[in-house]
Amino acid sequence: MTSFGGFVAPGWETVDAAFQRNFTAGEEVGASAAVYHRGVKVVDVWGGTSDSEGAPYDDATLQLVFSTTKGITAIAVAICRQRGLLNYTDTVATHWPEFAAKGKQNATVAQLLSHQCGLFSVQGEISLAEALDWETVTARLADTAPEWPIGTTHGYHALTFGWLAGELVRRVDPAQRGFGQFVAEEITGPLAAELWIGLPEALEPRVSPLIGGLATTEHEDPKIQAMLEQFLGPDSNAGRALSLNGAFTGNGMFNRREVHAAEIPAANAITNAASLAKIYAATIGEIDGVRLLNDDTVDVIRATVTPPAEMDACLMMETTFGMGFMTSGPFSMFAGAGSFGHPGAGGSVAFAQPERELAVGYAMNRMASNLANDVRAQNLIDAATAVIDHLE
C-alpha cells in the first residue's frame, strides 16, 4: 500500500486528492508536489517509494528534474538584469567576447535566452567528459557557428541553454563565482531551499533514481519508426540537442554520480517540489522576508518573445519562450495566461502565475515519455487553479 505524507491547508484537500489519484491510477512510483498561494505554502505532499528496495519517498528525498532546471537558470539571469549587471538588449559578446566568433557578434542576450541563436549543440564530436567540464563545453559553444541566421527562428537548446546562460552569469558576476555557487548564494541560500546544480557527494544517498525515459526511435510500425527517427534520430536537430551530439546517451545516464556532480544548468538540478514552489513563489512575492525578483522584472521575463505559432526548429511543434522561461502555450500550458516557468523531461515542472498569486512545484522518479504537459502535473495544476478560482 502506498504511503503518503505532508501538509495540506484547509480548503486545498482536492490538490492532495489529485496527487494521490495519480498513484492509484498506476502513474507514479515516487513523487512530491507543492503549492504556494499568496505567499503561503498551502500544499506540500509526497508519497510512494524512492528506490528499488522500497525506501519511502518523503520530504528528505531529492530528485533530478531535467529541464525544470532551466527556470532556475533563467531566474539567475533575471537577478543579474535586475542588479544592472546586464540588459536583455545587450549583445552576448559585450560580456563574453569569445562568443562573437563564427558570426555571433550581434546576438543579443534576449535571443540567447529565447533559443534563437541556433546553438542547440556543438559541431563535431564531444565526449561526456568534455561535456561535463565547464571550461571545455563553454569554449566549444563560443566557437560554434549558428545552425540558422540568428533571430530568424527558434529551436530548443535542450542542454546548451544552461551553459550559454550560465556562462553569461559567470561573466557579469562581480564575485566571479561558479554557476552552482551563484545559485546557492543568491537563490537557494536566502530561501533555505534545497536545490543544487552540482550536487555535493554527501547528498547523493538522498537522490531517488529516475525510472524509464523518453520515447525512443524503436517502434514495431515501420512508418512510426521512420517518423521517430526523423524527429529523434542522432542526426536530427532534436536528437543532437537532447544528447549533445551523442555525449549524453546510454541507459541511466542521468542517474550517474559524475553527471550529478557536474554543473549542467539546463538539465541536472537536484531538488524537491517544495523547494521549486518556494523559489517561484519568491519571484512574485516575499517569502520568509526574501523576494528574488521585482514586479518590473517579472513582467519582462514572462512576456512571450518567440513569434506566434512559430514551429520550434528542434522539437517540430509550437513552443513559446520569454527570457529563458517557457510561457503558457500549446507545449507548456501551466495555469494559463501569464504563467512562466519550465517543465522537465518525463514530467517535472515548476512555475508561477502572478494573476492567481500561484506557484507550483512537482517532481517524480517515474518518467513519462514526454518533454512537457505531463498529465500527472496538469492534474495537480488544474486542482490548484480550481481552488483559487472558487475562492475568487
Q: What is the pLDDT of residues 160-179, one digit of tens each?
A: 999 999 999 999 999 999 99
**Cβ(265)–Cβ(162) below 8 Å:** yes
On the CB side of 332, CA atoms within 13 Å amount to 29
d(CA 304, CA 196): 28
Find cell 513523487 and name the residue: 31
33-51 burial string, b = 16+ CB within 10 Å, else e?
bbbbbeeebbbbbbbbbbb
For residue 272, how far is the Cα from the chain centroid? 13
- Number of helices (H) and strands (E) in the chain: give both, helices first: 15, 10
d(CA 57, CA 5): 9
pLDDT at 235: 85
In 3D space, the residue among 82, 83, 112 whose CA is nearest the CA of residue 96 turns out to be: 112
Torsion sign over Cα 120, 321, 317, 360: positive
Stretches where the chain sits below pLDDT 70 are 214-232, 392
Residue 51: all three cell numbers together: 528506490
Stated pTM of the model: 0.96
pLDDT at 224: 45
Residue 94: all three cell numbers together: 559585450
Around Cβ 365, how many Cβ atoms within 10 Å? Answer: 27
pLDDT at 1: 74
pLDDT at 232: 66
Q: Which residues pair with 298 in a beta bridge?
A: none
Residues 6+ apart with CB under 8 A from 21: 379
In 3D space, the residue among 147, 373, 163, 324 whose CA is nearest the CA of residue 240 turns out to be: 147
In 3D space, the residue among 47, 39, 25 whose CA is nearest the CA of residue 362 turns out to be: 47
Q: What is the pLDDT of residues 101-148, one digit of tens each?
A: 999 999 999 999 999 999 999 999 999 999 999 999 999 999 999 999
